Amino acid sequence: MQDNQMNLADQKRKTVETVELTEDGRYKRKVRSFTLRTGRFSGYQRNMMNNHWGEFGLDFQESLFDFKAIFGNDNPVILEIGFGMGKSLVEMAIANPDKNYIGIEVHTPGVGACIALAVEKGVKNLRVICHDAVEILNYCIPNESLSGLQLFFPDPWHKARHHKRRIVQPAFLTLVLSKLKQGAFVHFATDWENYAEHMLEVLQAEKGLTNTSATNDYIPRPDFRPLTKFEERGHRLGHGVWDLYFTKI
C-alpha cells in the first residue's frame, strides 16, 4: 500500500487540526462548536480507518454529495453529528437497514472505532465523515435531501462565556432546516439541563418545525435511540437526560 494511503488516518487528523490563515497570513479565528481532543489513536483504529476508508469514508468536497451514487439506493438518509465512538450509530444502522446513515465526527479515534465496529457487524448502510459538520452541511449536503438529523450529547460548553460555542444556535438550525425534507425529524439529546432549555428555546423559535412532545417540551427517551455507556453511567449517578424531537412542517 502506498504511503499516502497508509497515512490517510493521520492526514484526516491533521486536517481537522489545521490552523486556518487569511490571505495575508494572519490567524483566522473561528468559533468552533467542538474541542479537538487529543486522545490516543490506537494502531488498530488507525489501521481500520486506513484499510476501510474506501468502503465507509466520505471526504469533504466543495460540491454536493449524490446519495444514490454513494449508497446505491434511494432510501432515506439520516445524518448524525458527533457520533463519539460510533457504537450507537452502528446499532441504529443495523436496526434500520431500510435507511442510510451518515455520521460526522472530528475525533479520529472515534472514526476509527466506528469503522471497525461497522466492519465487524457487516454494516452496509453507513458512511462516516471526519470534518467540521457546519462545513459539510454548507458545501456537501443537498437542500431538502435529509430525512432526519441527530445530535446526541454535544459539547455543552457549560460556562456562560462559552455558550456562543454551542452548536445549537438559530443560524445552525436554519441551515439544518434547509437540508431537511418535509416531514423530516430533528432529534437532539443532552444531559445538561441548561443546554436542554437552550435547545428547546431555539427549536420552538423556528416556525418551520413542530414539537412532537405531548407536553410541548421534551419526550421520554425513545427506544430507537440506543442507550450509551456514557448515558448509563449518568443514570447511575442520578443525572437527567433530555430528548427533543421536532419535525419539519
The set of catalytic residues is 155
CA distance 140 to 99: 19
DSSP codes of every residue in the chain: --HHHHTHHHHHHHHHHPPPB-TTS-B-----SS--------HHHHHHHHHHHHHHEE---SS---HHHHHSS---EEEEE--TTSHHHHHHHHH-TTSEEEEE-S-HHHHHHHHHHHHHHT--SEEEE-S-HHHHHHHTSPTT-EEEEEEES-----SGGGGGG-S--HHHHHHHHHHEEEEEEEEEEES-HHHHHHHHHHHHH-TTEEE--TTSS-BPPPTTSPPPHHHHHHHHTT---EEEEEEE-
Residue 197 annotated as lining a ligand binding site: no
In DSSP terms, which residues pair with 188 in a beta bridge? 151, 244
Residue 99 annotated as lining a ligand binding site: no
Residue 228 annotated as lining a ligand binding site: yes
Residue 3 annotated as lining a ligand binding site: no
CA distance 246 to 104: 21
Identify whether the C-beta of residue 129 lies closer than 8 Å to the C-beta of residue 58.
yes
Residue 155 annotated as lining a ligand binding site: yes
Residue 159 annotated as lining a ligand binding site: yes
Residue 230 annotated as lining a ligand binding site: yes
Residue 160 carries which side chain, given as an amino acid letter?
A
CA distance 87 to 120: 12
Residue 80 annotated as lining a ligand binding site: yes
Binding site residues, as ranges? 80, 105, 132, 155, 159, 191, 228-231
Binding site residues for substrate, as ranges? 159, 191, 228-231
Binding site residues for S-adenosyl-L-methionine, as ranges? 80, 105, 132, 155
